[in-house]
Amino acid sequence: MKFNLELSEVPNSERIFLNVLSRQPHSFGQLKAILDTGSPKTIISYIDALRLNISISGAETGEPIAGFGKGQIPSKKIKKFIFTLRSEDSTIKYVEMPVHVVDISLLKNMSQEVQNSTMRIPTIIGLDFLRFTGLKLVIDLKNHSSFLE
């Protein structure tokens, strides 16, 4: 199966996006995530967690999210988050894996500067997603093509 990715130019760089659906109970909706080979883990952003009303009650405390500006961002780890991918031939693939979600409740107790910085962080598909799914990442910048298979 081939899952197309979106190569987009943003100021001063290019980004690879993966469009997935959250199939988490009571949190259905589309996520446009940056596929980041420099991130070891998949992270659901503050904005997407709010927009999809992703419940983190009962989730265990996750490792702080680092590498984005100042400080560390608190997270919760959801052990079984459900994504849906649609292949080029419209086949559906369900992926159930652990993800980190920005801990909105703890973030509210942090400085306004940290909160503002956190709101700019997108949802990220990390290397754990590729390891977990066993999908291969193919990028052909010359032909402006990228996909998972």
Please check whether residue 20 is in contact with residue 133, taking contact to mean a CB–CB distance below 8 angstroms: no
CA–CA separation, 8 vs 29, rounded Å? Answer: 21
Please check whether residue 1 is in contact with residue 135, taking contact to mean a CB–CB distance below 8 angstroms: no
Please check whether residue 80 is in contact with residue 97, taking contact to mean a CB–CB distance below 8 angstroms: yes
Please check whether residue 131 is in contact with residue 120, taking contact to mean a CB–CB distance below 8 angstroms: no
Please check whether residue 86 is in contact with residue 92, taking contact to mean a CB–CB distance below 8 angstroms: yes
CA–CA separation, 73 vs 12, rounded Å? Answer: 26
Q: pLDDT tens digits, residue range 12-26?
A: 888 999 999 999 888
**Radius of gyration of the CA atoms of the chain, in A:** 15
- Superfamily of segment(s) 3-148: Acid Proteases (2.40.70.10)
Look at residue 69 in the predicted model and tell me its pLDDT. Answer: 63
Q: pLDDT tens digits, residue range 83-114?
A: 999 999 999 999 999 999 998 888 888 888 88
Look at residue 12 in the predicted model and tell me its pLDDT. Answer: 82
Quick one: DSSP state of residue 50?
H
Q: pLDDT tens digits, residue range 26-59?
A: 889 999 999 999 999 999 999 999 999 998 988 9
Would the pLDDT of 9 be above 90?
no
Would the pLDDT of 80 be above 70?
yes
CA–CA separation, 122 vs 120, rounded Å? Answer: 6
Token duo for residue 92: 């559906």
User: How far from the centroid of its chain's Cα atoms is residue 119's Cα?
Assistant: 14
Domain boundaries, the chain: 3-148
Compute φ and ψ for 116, nearest 5 degrees: -65, -40
